Amino acid sequence: MTERTYAQKEILQFSLPQILFMYAWPIAWFMFLIYVVGPYFVSPDGTFPLWAENLIGLLGNGAEITVAILILRREGYRLTSKDLLARINMRFPDKLWKWGPVWVPLCLQFWQFWRCFRLKQKLQRCCLLQIGCRVIP
């Protein structure tokens, strides 16, 4: 089985101020949407409509995808599936021991989730029993 590799080419690098700007402006845009635009959608009873939350999320994440596309174009790639695969250059580990860094944290996370889930069930059972014993006037 042959593995398809892609030739590395010279990629123009951003300077430090450009890198900081490309990371900072989506964050600033998201904060502007949340803290400046968002309060205008809060109704008098204190609820926030779901459509406004979705709109803010869409506009904020749109800024991040715009940055990603700009950087992809700067590197000389087009927005096609072939060029995205070439840019990602993801390969599966060829040896079994290389899968350890993937499976060990995954199993530990699942075990931790299971412990928390069982604790939550025990706490709910305990609280339901206590509430059931109280006399509600």
Question: Which pLDDT band, with edges at 50, 70 and 90, does 10 fall under?
Answer: low
In a domain, 9, yes or no: no
User: Domain tally for the chain?
Assistant: 1
In a domain, 10, yes or no: no
Q: Which of 53, 50, 47, 51 is nearest to 34 (CA)?
A: 53
Taken in order 37, 39, 43, 46, is the CA torsion positive or negative?
Answer: positive
What global pTM score does this model have? 0.52
In a domain, 110, yes or no: yes
Residue range(s) defining the domain that contains residue 103: 16-133
* Residue 136 pLDDT > 50: no
48-92 pLDDT per residue, tens: 889 998 999 999 898 888 888 888 888 788 888 888 777 777 777
Query: What's the pLDDT at 19?
Result: 84
In a domain, 118, yes or no: yes
